[in-house]
Chain A
């Protein structure tokens, strides 16, 4: 309202112009830096994916088109051989691992996080202490938690095997992180342990915005608590929850550090990020790894676009 008023007088509109000019100079350094560290490297990575650049010869790459993505050769015998990332079983295994990890971890983290938030939203003695306690997993560096859990999951001397053996849930020691059947499960356990606090705190912030008298009146009307949860609480925390879910999903889709340390080189847990870095840096298939990182970027970009479009999310907060 004030600004509209300002615009009517020419003298103050020069003030507005001054403000706009200042805004430009305030934004320019940040935009320049972001261009250098984000946009330019991203464009270069995409460019590399269409060349045959190698780690030892960064500037000697030649344009090869879609060869790193998909290419085929038909022999005179009529047999066609496909090669490139999209025909690589290791890539599809990584895609499947990443998607499976993201879906399971984010859904469980959301459900458990919401439950923990409901507990913390109740008034009880020692609530501050509990909230401090659940912040601890969040505060521990990922690499440290991976090492801590790797020790707890240790096949010979680990405390998890000891606990499960003593209550009789298992009858022999399990190599949790090395075994292909349990590697993903161990990664999921650690990730859920580490990230649920984040979800719980975001949910709690959403819950605390719901006015207390809404619950009071529901109680007076004798509405069953479960019905209150689904008809009052859930719709009201949904916006906060939607934002938390997209952040967590994006984080899960780019998962690297925890798996790299907890289950190194396990086929059962290798994600797109890990496979891509392996090709980029360790196997000297620089261009091939770039193609994989570009595909991951494309997958995430499509996912975000769909999510914002379908969920009609207002992430920038401009409309509120």
Chain B
């Protein structure tokens, strides 16, 4: 019996180890590769053999990469702030006020966050050309609203629905208007939800590729994912794997740290929103 229990425990833990190894190995290997240069790159190692930071120095000295990172930071933060600003009031109305067609409206908002981005690409392209923001960060900020806004509205609505009714009732009795209720009473309670939603929307905007690829033309306007996808060596036959991995690690580490810090909140945000980041 004890042997059987021991065997069971060993089997269970080996499954756990396999899960962790598969999850972490590709990132580990990217770090390993980013520390190799020259012919070292083409020797397969499972453990670190050299610690050569020249790839990182090359990436950071290349002004383009810093520029691309700043583009991404600016675009993602502006999009998120804009979406949160519109979503807080809208989700109060959707969560706390009963009106005809509320369910339908919620479904429509959900539908927008799920529909294929390619379906609006032609129309957005025309719109962006028309306003004259093609090849500027504003093109991305405008187009990313299509997924960040419905997502933030949706998640904040589910969060706000769970806030106790009593607080709101007491405020109404004291003569508070809906605006006061949102800004003075709900906002302090909503901070955790705002941080989670904002973070998830930020990750979504940071990772977006299709719009960023289509609405930028010059290298300086690219966002980080497009820059990494387009990173090429001195000749077109040579892929600079060391540089690509160094750039990849640099843009991923902040995300991994953020995700690990906020992991519990992220899980609850994902369950409420059900949207892939």
- Which A residues are closer than 8 A to B by beta carbons? 2-3, 15, 18-20, 22-24, 26-27, 29-31, 33-34, 36-38, 40-45, 48, 58, 116, 119, 122, 124, 126, 129-149, 151-152, 154, 156-159, 162, 193, 195, 197-198, 201-202, 204-205, 240, 243-244, 247-248, 250-251, 253-254, 256-257, 260-261, 272-273, 276-277, 280-281, 286, 289-290, 293-294, 296-297, 300-301, 304, 315-318
Instruction: Give the shortest distance, in Å, between A159 (CB) and chain B (any CB).
Output: 5
Q: List 25 A-B contacts (CB under 8 A).
A: A22-B93, A26-B89, A27-B93, A30-B87, A37-B143, A38-B112, A38-B120, A40-B123, A42-B119, A42-B120, A129-B20, A132-B260, A133-B20, A135-B266, A139-B259, A143-B228, A147-B229, A151-B244, A159-B29, A159-B46, A197-B23, A251-B276, A260-B213, A297-B115, A304-B114
Beta-carbon contact of B251 and A141 below 8 Å? yes
Beta-carbon contact of B124 and A37 below 8 Å? yes
- Please, how many angstroms separate the alpha-carbon atoms of A308 and B26 in the complex? 37
Residue of A nearest to B227 (CB): A143
- Please, how many angstroms separate the alpha-carbon atoms of A141 and B251 in the complex? 9
**B35 contacts the other chain (Cβ, under 8 Å)?**
no
Given contacts A45-B121, A154-B241, A293-B119, 12 further A-B contacts (CB under 8 A): A23-B93, A34-B109, A34-B146, A41-B122, A144-B30, A144-B228, A152-B26, A256-B117, A256-B209, A280-B121, A293-B122, A300-B116
Chain A residues with CB under 8 A of B33: 151
Beta-carbon contact of A131 and B263 below 8 Å? yes
- Please, how many angstroms separate the alpha-carbon atoms of A133 and B99 in the complex? 44
**B24 contacts the other chain (Cβ, under 8 Å)?**
yes
Beta-carbon contact of B259 and A19 below 8 Å? no
Chain B residues with CB under 8 A of A33: 86, 145, 149
Chain B residues with CB under 8 A of A140: 27, 252, 255-256
- Please, how many angstroms separate the alpha-carbon atoms of A31 and B109 in the complex? 9
Beta-carbon contact of B26 and A261 below 8 Å? no
A130, A204, A254: which contacts B116 (Cβ < 8 A)? Answer: A254
How many chain B residues touch A (Cβ–Cβ < 8 Å)?
101
Beta-carbon contact of B123 and A44 below 8 Å? yes
Chain A residues with CB under 8 A of B229: 143, 146-147, 260-261
Q: Which of B26, B172, B266, B275 has the most CB of A within 10 A?
A: B26
Beta-carbon contact of A40 and B263 below 8 Å? no
Instruction: Give the shortest distance, in Å, between B253 (CB) and chain A (any CB).
Output: 10
B89, B127, B271, B274: which contacts A40 (Cβ < 8 A)? Answer: B127
- Please, how many angstroms separate the alpha-carbon atoms of A174 and B97 in the complex? 60
Beta-carbon contact of B274 and A294 below 8 Å? no
Residue of B nearest to A287 (CB): B122
Instruction: Give the shortest distance, in Å, between B39 (CB) and chain A (any CB).
Output: 10
Beta-carbon contact of A195 and B124 below 8 Å? no
